């Protein structure tokens, strides 16, 4: 059994802690002591510590005994925390999705002799792993994916509940969306190019541009066309555009807006929600599509977003612990997925937890 030190005990964090504590010693830290105590009351195998992740000395001291670290804090806290963990010479998996270019820490990770896998969630994460796998096998002409986490029974006006930090959701609605069109990076406003899509299991949804490609814009820029869109119920994008146009997402209003939306978007206890993900990879001679639909798990009372994001991250933790990926540096999932053994491990790990990704080849 290894000593895994996890930072972040939110909805996704609690699911990851429960998963990892089955086979390892799990040490969990968060700033919110009540949240930690609630988790420990349900799982006495988890050791808890209150921690201010912005205190570099406290963070470095806390992770000293760690065999590996799992970082799951809000995006604005992620980059500096990850840098501290790397400087502490600890292998780490990061799902903070910080706005900074995390690949800038690659040389530091190599210097410190540590392995870092970043963006290891449902998306970014699963699409990256799969694109890396296929990129190693054929010439890809285009790659696109559509993803959303939504309540099963939407309530107006938002028809949305946030399965993670609302401030990170708002970031998706304000950060300009980058994509690759004919090898050129094109930037469009977030929430633009709204289109309606029909899903057999999720019904009618709308898709709009967000900045979800992240590392793919540099690691996969030999592919002519790359695109990512977020999925919501129809009408949500226009409402968020109205919020943005009124300045409610500006720096001087963001704190108050986030506080209000946190209450509006908070999932009720055991509320049924789902995650849907479509991936389309077109090559010269074939097209590969993937589809994931996952709902709240009634048995374990675990949300679909916690399952799909969390178990991809815990799979990545075990990938490193089992020495399937041991290179030094900072690696987005597409670089890891290029190794078939790693891709197979991730898919099997998810399947064992009933996160099913269906594949079609045309």
Which CATH number belongs to the domain containing residue 275 in this structure? 3.30.360.10
Domain boundary among 87, 118, 149: 118
State if pTM tops 0.85.
yes
Task: Confirm whether 348 is domain-assigned.
Answer: no
Evaluate whether residue 222 is within a structural domain.
yes
In a domain, 333, yes or no: no
* Distance from C-alpha of 284 to C-alpha of 142, rounded to nearest angstrom: 10
- Chain CA centroid to CA 24, Å: 22
> What is the model's pLDDT at position 63?
98
Residue 35 and residue 10 in contact, taking contact as beta carbons nearer than 8 Å? yes
pLDDT class of 83 with cuts at 50, 70, 90: very high
Q: 306, 164 in Cβ contact below 8 A?
A: no
Mean pLDDT value of segment 96-108: 95
Computed over every residue of the chain, the mean pLDDT equals 96
pLDDT on residue 165: 72
* β-pair partners for 46: 26
Tokens of residue 83, six digits: 């840098």
| 12 close to 164: Cβ distance less than 8 angstroms | yes
163/11 Cα distance (integer angstroms): 7
Does a structural domain hold residue 66? yes
pLDDT at residue number 67: 98
Claim to verify: residue 148 and residue 292 sit in the same structural domain: yes
Q: How confident is the model at residue 167 (pLDDT cuts 50, 70, 90)?
A: confident
Residues 101 and 135 occupy one common structural domain: no
Sheet holding 329-331, edge to edge: 46-50, 25-30, 3-7, 68-71, 92-94, 115-118, 329-331
pLDDT band at 69 (very low <50, low <70, confident <90, very high): very high
How large is the greatest C-alpha to C-alpha distance in the chain, in angstroms?
Answer: 55
Contact 303, 101 (CB under 8 A): no
**Which are the contacts of 127, defined by CB distance < 8 A and separation ≥ 6?**
143, 145, 147, 228, 277, 279, 290
Task: Verify that 139 and 227 share a domain, yes or no.
Answer: yes
Question: What residues does 225 pair with on adjacent strands?
Answer: 142
CA 248 to chain centre: 25
Residues 27 and 7 in one domain: yes
Domain count of the chain? 2
199 with 133, same domain: the answer is yes
Going by DSSP bridges, is the β-strand pair 203-209/195-199 parallel, antiparallel, or unpaired? antiparallel
How many residues are present in the chain? 362
Rg (CA), the chain: 19
Over the stretch 20-68, which tens digit does the pLDDT of each residue have?
999 999 999 999 999 999 999 999 999 999 999 999 999 999 999 999 9
- Count of helices and strands (H, E) across the chain: 13, 16
Is it the case that residue 115 has pLDDT exceeding 80? yes
Q: Are residues 61 and 163 in the same domain?
A: no
Domain interval for residue 111 = 3-118
Partner residues linked to 94 by β-bridges = 71, 118
Residue 327: inside a domain: no
Task: Determine, yes or no, domain membership for 337.
Answer: no
List all residues 6 or more positions away from 136 whose beta carbon is below 8 Å from its beta carbon.
338
What pLDDT score was predicted for residue 284?
A: 85
In a shared domain, residues 142 and 257: yes
Decide: residue 30, CB within 10 A, 0-12 exposed, 13-18 middle, 19+ buried. buried
Tokens linked to 289: 């599509």
DSSP letter at 91 equals: -
Residue keyed to tokens 């900072």: 330
DSSP 99: S
pLDDT of res. 166: 78
Final residue in a domain of this structure, among 118, 137, 167: 118
Q: Do residues 87 and 225 share a domain?
A: no
Residues 49, 138: one domain?
no
Pick the closest to residue 169 from 254, 279, 104 (CA basis): 254
Final residue belonging to a domain, choices 92, 118, 144: 118
CATH number for the domain including 7?
A: 3.40.50.720
Confirm whether 91 is domain-assigned. yes
Residue 225, in any domain of the structure: yes
* 8-state DSSP, 267: P
- The model's confidence at residue 285, banded by pLDDT at 50, 70 and 90, is confident
- Measured distance CA(92)–CA(21) in Å, rounded: 17
- Rounded to an integer, the average pLDDT of 287-312 is 96
Residues 299 and 152 both lie in one domain: yes
Distance from C-alpha of 169 to C-alpha of 147, rounded to nearest angstrom: 13
The pLDDT of residue 55: 98
Do 131 and 50 lie in a common domain? Answer: no
For residues 282 and 256, membership in a common domain is answered with yes
């Amino acid at each position: 059994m290894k000593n895994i030190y996890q930072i972040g005990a939110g909805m996704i964090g609690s699911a990851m802690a429960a998963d990892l504590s089955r086979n390892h010693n799990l040490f969990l830290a968060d700033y919110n002591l009540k949240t930690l105590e609630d988790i420990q009351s349900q799982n006495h195998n988890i050791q808890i510590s209150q921690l201010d992740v912005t205190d570099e000395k406290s963070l470095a001291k806390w992770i000293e005994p760690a065999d590996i670290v799992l970082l799951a804090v809000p995006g604005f806290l992620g980059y500096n925390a990850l840098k501290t963990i790397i400087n502490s010479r600890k292998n780490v998996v990061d799902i903070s999705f910080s706005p900074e270019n995390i690949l800038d820490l690659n040389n530091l990770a190599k210097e410190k002799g540590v392995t870092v896998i970043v963006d290891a969630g449902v998306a970014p994460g699963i699409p990256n792993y799969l694109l890396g796998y296929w990129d190693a096998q054929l010439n890809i002409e285009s790659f696109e994916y559509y993803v959303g986490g939504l309540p099963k029974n939407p309530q107006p006006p938002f028809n949305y509940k946030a399965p993670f930090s609302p401030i990170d959701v708002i970031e998706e609605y304000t950060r300009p969306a980058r994509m690759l069109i004919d090898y050129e990076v094109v930037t469009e406003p977030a929430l633009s190019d709204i289109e309606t899509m029909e899903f057999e299991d999720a019904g009618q949804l709308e898709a709009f541009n967000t900045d979800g490609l992240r590392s793919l814009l540099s690691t996969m820029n030999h592919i002519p066309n790359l695109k990512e869109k977020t999925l919501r119920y129809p009408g949500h994008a226009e409402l968020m555009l109205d919020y943005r146009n009124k300045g409610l997402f500006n720096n001087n209003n963001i704190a108050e807006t986030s506080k209000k939306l946190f209450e509006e978007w908070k999932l009720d206890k055991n509320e049924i929600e789902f995650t849907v993900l479509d991936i389309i990879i077109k090559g010269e001679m074939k097209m590969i599509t993937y589809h994931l639909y996952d709902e709240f798990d009634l048995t374990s009372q675990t949300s679909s977003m916690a399952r799909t994001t969390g178990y991809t991250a815990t799979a990545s933790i075990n990938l490193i612990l089992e020495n399937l990926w041991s290179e030094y540096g900072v690696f987005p999932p597409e670089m890891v997925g290029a190794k078939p053994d790693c891709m197979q491990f991730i898919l099997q790990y998810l399947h064992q937890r009933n996160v099913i990704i269906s594949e079609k080849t045309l």
